[in-house]
Amino acid sequence: MVAMTIVEQAAGKRQRAGADRRESRYAPRVTRPSKQLETFANPRPGREYHISFECPEFTCLCPMTGQPDFATILIDYVPDQLCVELKSLKLYLWSYRDEGAFHEAVTNRICDDLVATTHPRSITVTGKFWVRGGITTTVTVTHAG
C-alpha cells in the first residue's frame, strides 16, 4: 500500500471529479419523439414577417399497407405573439414515424396543431409525398388567423 499525502489525495479527488463532469457533459442525450410543440415569444410582434421551414425527412406509415411514406413538409407562417421552437418541431414531426396516416389527414393535423399552439396570423403547410404506386401527392393546407 502506498501512502499518499493529503495534497495528493485532494488532487486525485479533483481529477476524478473532473472526469465525472466530462463524462456527464459528453454523455449521449436521449431524445424521443414528442407531440408537445413548444413556443417562445415573437421578438417582433408588431412586424408582419414570414418564417419558413423545410423538413425533408418526414415519415409516416401508410394506413392501408403499413409501408413507410416519405415526404418533405413545408411550413410557412406569419407569427402573431408566439413562434414555434425548432427542436420541438423536429421531435413533433418525428413522432409520426410509426403512425399510420393518410397524406391529407397528417398534413391537416400538422397545420391544426401548429395553429392551436402558436395562433399565427396565417399559415400554410404543404406535404410533398414521394412516389407511391407511380403517383406523387402534394397536399397544401392554409389557415388565416
Let me know: does 138 contact 101? Beta carbons within 8 Å.
no
Residue 17 domain flag: no
Domain CATH code at residue 52 = 3.30.1130.10
Instruction: Give me 40's grid cell.
Output: 417562445
Domain that holds residue 69: 39-144
Q: Please give the model's pTM, rounded to 2 decimal places.
A: 0.80
62 is catalytic: yes
> Catalytic: which of 20, 55, 60, 69?
69
| Residue 69 is among the residues annotated as catalytic for this protein | yes
- 62-119 pLDDT, tens digit per residue, is 999 999 999 999 999 999 999 999 999 999 999 999 999 999 999 999 999 999 999 9
Task: Specify if 103 maps to a domain.
Answer: yes
pLDDT at 1: 43
In sequence order, the 6+-apart residues with CB closer than 8 A to the CB of 144 are 121, 122
3-state class percentages of the chain: helix first, strand second, coil last, to nearest 5: 30, 35, 35
Alpha-carbon 35 to chain mean position: 9
Catalytic residue among 62, 80, 112, 113: 62
Residues in Cβ contact with 85 at an 8 Å cutoff, skipping those fewer than 6 apart: 37, 38, 39, 40
Residue 20 inside a domain? The answer is no
Give the per-residue pLDDT at 94.
Answer: 97
Grid coordinates representing 49 are: 414577417
